[in-house]
Amino acid sequence: MADSARTSVKLADGRELIYFDDVPGLDRTAPDRRELPPSEPRPEVRFDPLTGEHVVIAAHRQTRTFLPKADAAARAACPLCPGHPDSEVPADGYHVAIFENRFPSLGGPAGGRCEVVCFTDDHDATFADLPPERLATVARAFTDRTRELGARPDVAEVFIFENRGAEIGATLSHPHGQIYAFPYLTPRTERILAQDGCVLCDIVAREATGERVVAETANFVAFVPHAARWPYQVQIVPRVHVPDLVALGEPEADELMGLYADVLGRFGRLYDQAVPYMAGWHQAPPSARDRSHLWAEVYTPQRTADKLKYLASVETGTGAFLNDVRPEDAAARLRAL
């Protein structure tokens, strides 16, 4: 897609906002008229010598916007709805918008960067509702940010994710995700890289024809992992070794995003109410593109229609997960949906 479908502008406090459009040539020059002080994030990255892991301290996030009312009269309180005086997106409408987080966990002296990804200007939509042309725009936006952020000297890993539902801590209901460009390798990535060879290549070879497959396309397969940690958990993996979204061609990226939306739709139909979920895109760190295999993951703590799985003392204290749902049963149910 031509660069005319990507427009970078500045918000009133100096943060970057990027519009990614389904079609080129749209005017995205509407100014941000808010009176905001300059953005000067001050998070800290501290190291825990006991576990050998980093911890981010970001006390300024206590003041971020929290669950504005859902009624139409209160939409002006949603910072992701476009065009109103307090919006983070000054245009009257948008397709996909990505901007630097006003309340970031990373950035400044800590290094890295945090961005918010708005998938649509429709407050009531879900990712699974997006039409094919919008999924293609999301794929292009994810690829752009992976490439650009991964090239920064203060970034070691780019992680794209979505939290959906107040039950798991999402503070805004507008359909959106986030991008954390970490200045260090996260613990899970370090553990995967410490293994010999590409474990995911072996896993895909085993799972691609097994009973835990939920959905598939020519180039990608979605399955419940053999040792699933969550009641309903699906991994979406390329059939061949691919390090990140940047390495995919546009047709393959669009195909992957369609399968991802398919899986999210199946999660949405699990029960008669909205299902909270977490989703993340695991990509090769810039320092290890030859040893990493791209994969996406979707999981929910909703173990029955009226019960959630909580990470209590055992899981949080030891890191040892206990799952109440047999992975094969979860796969069969998701496959049938």
pLDDT value at position 2?
Answer: 43
Distance from C-alpha of 315 to C-alpha of 328, rounded to nearest angstrom: 22
User: Which residues of the chain carry a pLDDT beneath 50?
Assistant: 1-2
Taking alpha carbons only, the member of 188, 136, 180 closest to residue 160 is 180
According to the model, what pLDDT value does residue 64 have?
54
pLDDT, residue 39, reads 86
> 10-56 pLDDT, tens per residue?
999 999 999 999 999 999 999 999 999 998 888 999 999 999 999 99
Q: Quick one: pLDDT at residue 287? A: 87
Compute the chain's Rg from CA coordinates.
20
Q: How much is the pLDDT for 42?
A: 86
Tell me whether strands 157-164 and 96-100 are parallel, antiparallel or unpaired: unpaired
Q: What angle do CA 212, 213, 218 make, to 5 degrees?
A: 160
Question: What's the pLDDT score for residue 1?
Answer: 43
pTM, two decimal places: 0.94
Would you state the pLDDT for residue 312? 87
Domains of the chain: residue spans and CATH: 3-336 (3.30.428.10)
At 77-120, the pLDDT tens digits run 799 999 899 999 999 999 999 999 999 999 999 999 999 999 99
Residues with catalytic function: 176
